[in-house]
Amino acid sequence: MRLEQLLHELPLQASHGDLSVAVAALTCDSRQVAAGTLFFALHGTKVDGHRFIHQAVASGAAAIVLEDPTYAPAQIPWVQVTNGRQAMALMAARFFGQPTRDLPLIGITGTNGKTTTSYLLEGILTAAGLPAAVLGTISYRFGDTCIEASHTTPESTELQGIFRQLADAGAKAFVMEVSSHSLEQRRVDGSVFDVGIFTNLTRDHLDYHGTMQAYSSAKQRLFSELLKPDTSTPVRHAVINADDPAAEDFIQAAACPVIRYGLAQDAEVTVREMSSSVNGISAILVTPQGEQPFHSQLLGGFNLSNILAAATAGVALRLPLQAIVQGIEQHTTVPGRLERVVNGVGVTCLVDYAHTGDALENVLSTLKELATARIITVFGCGGDRDNGKRPIMGRIAADYSDLAIVTSDNPRTEDPHEILRQIREGILPLGLREYSPDELTTNPEYKGFVMLENRHEAIRLGVQLAKPGDILLLAGKGHEDYQIIGTTKHHFDDREEASNAFRERT
C-alpha cells in the first residue's frame, strides 16, 4: 500500500518527500523496522521514540510519521501529525482493510470482569450463529487460531493485523477487552465498535493514570468517542452496569443509546428469583424482549454481574433470548478464574486472577459464604504497578482468611521484600498474629498471616496446611504461566505448582 493511501483524510501538519512510497509494514518500535516499514515516532513514558528515527532510517524504513520535526530525516519521506498514536491507529486500520467496519465489534471495559464477560459473550454469539473471535488478557483467538497475548489490548498496529487474520479465519464477530491504558494510548482508535460494555470501576492502575477521575475518563472514551458513528445502526449501544457507583458518569459520556443491567431499579436487564450455591447461580433473566430461566455453573454475585453484562450485550445485538441463555448455560469456566486444582486430599483448591482489592474482596466474600471449614489465601501484588493497592489487598486477604500467606506476584524490577512490606502495612492494624513458616507447620490451630516471599514455597506451605474441607485460594496470577523477576520471565504456573505439591503430599 502507498503512504498517501494511508494518509487519506488525515490532517497533516507538514510533510516532506515522495508520499507515494510503498509501505510494507507498520511499527512504533525501531527494533522491528525492516526494509519498507513505516516507522511511527512516539513520545513514550520512558523514552522519546523520535530519538530512534535515525535507527529506523538505517534499518531501511520507507518513511517516518512524527510529531516533532526537529528529528525529521533528510533522506526519506516523513509526515508530521499532531497525535502520533491516533494517526498510527487510523493508518493501521486502513493498512489492514478496515477489518472491523463490517463485522460486529463488542468492546468491554471496566476494572474487573472483562475477561469473564468476553468468554460468556463468545458463547452467546456462537450460540446465535455468529462464531466470535475473542481478544484479551488470555489470548487473541478464533477456532484453531490462537495468538499469544502481548497485552490485554494490543498496540494498534498489532491489533488491526490480528482482526484481519481472525476475520480471514472465518470469525463473524469480535469480542475484545479494552484496557484503560489502551484507551489512553489510542490503541483502539480506528476500531469501529457496535457495542461498548462498562463492567465496574474500582481502584487500579493509579501508577499510570494518577487519579480515579483520570482512570474513569480514559474508560469513558470507549462510549464517548469510539462507538460506531452511524446512528442508523440499531445495535449501536452502551451497555452499562447500573449497580456501579460510576454508572451515571458513563451514561452521561455515552454518545449513543444506553441499556443498563444489574439489580438496580432502573436496569432494563435484570434477574428475579435468584439463588446461588456451590453449584452455581440460578435465576430468571428479565429483558425488554421477555424472560427466560437459566442456570450457570459460575460462582458468586460478581459472576452474576458478568452474566448480565454479556446477556445485555446480546440483547443490544438483538440476538434471540434462547441463544443468550444457551450461551450462558454452556459456559463452564474461564482459565484461571476460580479454576479448580483437582487433588486427592479433599481440599477445594482454587486459582483465581484477583489482583485488585475489589476482586479479592468479591472472591473471598463469595468463598466465605460457601466455606464449611477454613480459608487459606496465598497472594501477592505485582511490582512496577499501582503500589497503593498493596495494603488494601493485604487487609482484605487477611481479614477474610483464616490464614493469609503473603508472597510474590511478578515483582518485576522492584525489591520483592519491599512489596511484601507494603502489603504487611495493611494487615498490621487488624492485630492478627504473624507466624513464621516453621511455627505454622507445628501449630495447626493458626489464625493470622505469614510472609513467605518465594511463591513456590508459599504454595507448598498452603497445600501442606490445608485440611480436607478447607478452601485454598491462590490469587493474583490466574492463567499466567510465568513469574516476572527483574525483566526475566520464568516459567511458573500456580495450577501446576499446586498439583505437584498435592501429589507430593498424598
Ligand X SMILES: CC(=O)N[C@H]1[C@@H](OP(=O)(O)OP(=O)(O)OC[C@H]2O[C@@H](n3ccc(=O)[nH]c3=O)[C@H](O)[C@@H]2O)O[C@H](CO)[C@@H](O)[C@@H]1O[C@H](C)C(=O)N[C@@H](C)C(=O)N[C@H](CCC(=O)O)C(=O)O
Ligand Y SMILES: Nc1ncnc2c1ncn2[C@@H]1O[C@H](COP(=O)(O)OP(=O)(O)OP(=O)(O)O)[C@@H](O)[C@H]1O
Ligand Z SMILES: N[C@H](CCC[C@H](N)C(=O)O)C(=O)O
Q: Which of 155, 352, 414, 494 binds ligand Y (CB under 6 A)?
A: 352
Q: Does 31 bind ligand X (CB under 6 A)?
A: yes
Least distance to Mg ion, CB of residue 108, Å: 9
Q: Which of 21, 59, 71, 151 binds ligand X (CB under 6 A)?
A: 151
- Exposed (0-12), middle (13-18) or buried (19+): which is 485, by Cβ within 10 Å? middle
Q: Give the residue with the Cβ less far from Mg ion, 117 or 326.
A: 117
Q: Give the residue with the Cβ less far from ligand Y, 63 or 475.
A: 475
Please compute, for residue 95, the number of CA atoms within 13 A of its CA located in the half-sphere on the CB side. 24
Site size for Mg ion, by CB under 5 A? 4
Phi, psi angles (nearest 5°) of residue 237: -150, 150
Please compute, for residue 391, the number of CA atoms within 13 A of its CA located in the half-sphere on the CB side. 7
DSSP per-residue letters across 61-113: -SEEEES-GGG--SSS-EEE-S-HHHHHHHHHHHHTT-TTSSS-EEEEESSSS
**Alpha-carbon span 108 to 199, nearest angstrom:** 7
Q: Is 488 annotated as a binding residue?
A: no
Q: Does 45 bind ligand X (CB under 6 A)?
A: yes
Q: Does 114 bind Mg ion (CB under 5 A)?
A: yes
Stretch that binds ligand X, among 4-12, 96-104, 127-135, 152-160 (CB under 6 A): 152-160
Q: Is 60 annotated as a binding residue?
A: no
Q: Is 410 annotated as a binding residue?
A: yes
**Rule CB under 6 A: which of 474-503 touch ligand Y?**
478
Phi, psi angles (nearest 5°) of residue 289: -90, -5
Contacts 24+ apart (CB under 8 A), 124-127: 124/310, 124/311, 124/313, 124/314, 124/319, 124/323, 124/324, 124/326, 124/327, 124/328, 125/172, 125/173, 125/175, 125/314, 125/317, 125/319, 125/327, 126/327, 127/323, 127/324, 127/326, 127/327, 127/330
Q: Does 201 bind ligand Y (CB under 6 A)?
A: no
Cell of 490: 520464568
Q: Does 250 bind ligand Y (CB under 6 A)?
A: no
Q: Is 187 annotated as a binding residue?
A: yes
Q: Give the residue with the Cβ less far from Mg ion, 271 or 338.
A: 338
Task: Write out the residues near ligand Z by the rule CB under 6 A.
Answer: 152, 355, 382, 385, 409-410, 476-477, 480
Q: Which of 14, 22, 24, 47 binds ligand X (CB under 6 A)?
A: 47
Q: Which does 115 bind (CB under 5 to 8 A by kind): ligand Z, ligand X, Mg ion, none?
A: Mg ion
Least distance to ligand Y, CB of residue 334, Å: 7
Q: Is 217 annotated as a binding residue?
A: no
Q: Which residues pair with 491 in a beta bridge?
A: 482
CA distances from 324 to 96, 265, 314, 316 (A): 32, 22, 6, 11
Least distance to Mg ion, CB of residue 251, Å: 23
Q: Does 175 bind ligand Y (CB under 6 A)?
A: no
Q: Which residues pair with 435 in a beta bridge?
A: 450
Cell of 216: 474513569
**Rule CB under 6 A: which of 105-134 touch ligand Y?**
112-116
Phi, psi angles (nearest 5°) of residue 196: -115, 140
**Known binding-site residue numbers:** 30, 110-116, 152-153, 179, 185, 187, 385, 409-412, 476, 480
**Known binding-site residue numbers for ATP:** 110-116
Q: What are the residues binding ligand Y (CB under 6 A)?
A: 112-116, 137, 152, 177, 199-200, 302, 305-306, 337, 352-354, 358-359, 362-363, 478
Q: What are the residues binding ligand X (CB under 6 A)?
A: 28-31, 42, 44-47, 49, 52, 151-153, 155, 179, 181-182, 185, 208
